[in-house]
């Protein structure tokens, strides 16, 4: 008789524990999805900056060596050496490319983590459905 009581008491706890685990993995999955979305947004911004700086560099390449180049600082245009301007844009392009590569690596890692969490959530849901069907 005590075995039956013990079994009846342990089943709801076990079900509750599985439900809580499923909720936890589901929250982690949502958190992972928001991290991925944020990282993709940042990567898109860097891609846009790379495109803009590439256009600037192409325009600087078209200029003669004695051309005047001005840099906008606040609301003031400041004269800048063409070689210095090209160097600054080149360094900016390198930085943006390195950040884009780093973000691509992060995206791949986040996608694999999200995929693993998604599979775990689905496995737990199937387990929960199996328990519900057994009860019926």
Alpha carbons 74 and 127: distance in angstroms, whole number: 61
pTM: 0.69
Do residues 135 and 14 touch, judged by C-beta distance below 8 A?
A: no
- Any idea what the CATH number is for the domain that residue 129 is in? 1.10.287.370
Please state the domain count of the chain: 1
Structural domain range at position 95? 2-135
Residue 2 has pLDDT above 50, yes or no: no
pLDDT digits (tens, 9 = 90+) for 54-113: 999 999 999 998 899 999 999 999 999 999 999 999 999 999 999 999 999 999 998 998
Closest CA to 63 of 75, 80, 39: 80
pLDDT, average across residues 18-42:
77
Asked if residue 56 lies in contact with residue 88, where contact means CB atoms within 8 angstroms, the answer is no
């Amino acid at each position: 008789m005590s075995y039956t009581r013990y079994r009846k008491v342990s089943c709801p706890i076990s079900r509750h524990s599985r439900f809580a685990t499923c909720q936890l993995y589901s929250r982690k999955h949502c958190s992972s999805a928001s991290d991925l979305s944020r990282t993709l947004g940042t990567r898109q911004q860097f891609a846009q900056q790379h495109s803009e700086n590439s256009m600037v560099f192409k325009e600087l390449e078209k200029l003669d060596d004695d051309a005047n180049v001005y840099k906008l600082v606040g609301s003031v245009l400041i004269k800048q050496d063409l070689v210095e301007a090209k160097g600054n844009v080149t360094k900016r392009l390198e930085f943006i490319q390195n950040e884009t590569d780093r973000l691509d690596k992060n995206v791949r890692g986040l996608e694999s983590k999200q995929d693993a969490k998604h599979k775990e959530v689905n496995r737990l849901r199937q387990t929960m459905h199996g328990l519900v069907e057994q009860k019926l």
